[in-house]
Amino acid sequence: MIDKNWVLQLFSHLECGRPEVFFESVADDVIWEVTGTHPLAGVYTTKLDFISGTIAKLNEVLESPLRLKVLSCLLDGSVAAVELIADSTTKSGSAFNNRYCWVCEFESHKLVKVRAYLDSALVSKTLS
């Protein structure tokens, strides 16, 4: 069974610039749905597809690699709803302060399913 402190510790790696440590706890065959109507939206069926289809594309246009800070975390059994914010700047100098809510399902301390909600308009503007 996971607990809130474990989830917060896991997500802290995204804020500290160590996403590779976070992704060690993501299943290789994770189902990651990125909601919305923007270039990154869709369902990714592997960890590598998610990283290359979303984070890598954002990092191409950001001044520094994406970092996500946890704002809140609600836990119900093996499901966590984690609210995050990106406090980033694009290479062109625009703010990229996207807010996210990831609904995460865990099995044996591995993230196996995520539904990610975010500001579609900001993503579209940033990637255009």
Q: What is the pLDDT of residue 78?
A: 97
- Strands 99-107 and 26-34: what pairing? unpaired
**DSSP secondary structure letters along 90-107:** BTTS-EE--EEEEEEEEE
Q: What is the pLDDT of residue 1?
A: 78
Report the distance separating Cα 26 and Cα 106, nearest Å: 9
Closest by CA position to 13, among listed 123, 111, 122: 111
Question: Going by C-beta distance under 8 Å and a sequence separation of 6 or more, which residues neighbour residue 80?
Answer: 2, 4, 7, 73, 74, 103, 104, 106
Q: What is the pLDDT of residue 110?
A: 97
Q: What is the pLDDT of residue 30?
A: 98
pLDDT tens-digit map of 48-97: 999 999 999 999 999 999 999 999 999 999 999 999 999 999 999 999 99
Using H for helix, E for strand and C for coil, what is the string for 45-65? CCHHHHHHHHHHHHHHHECCC
Q: What is the pLDDT of residue 15?
A: 95
Mean pLDDT of the chain: 97
Q: What is the pLDDT of residue 123?
A: 97
pLDDT of 104 strictly over 90: yes
Q: What is the pLDDT of residue 74?
A: 98
Residue 44's DSSP bridge partners are 32
CB 88 within 8 A of CB 30: no
Question: Going by C-beta distance under 8 Å and a sequence separation of 6 or more, which residues neighbour residue 123?
Answer: 36, 38, 39, 40, 58, 98
Give this prediction's pTM: 0.95
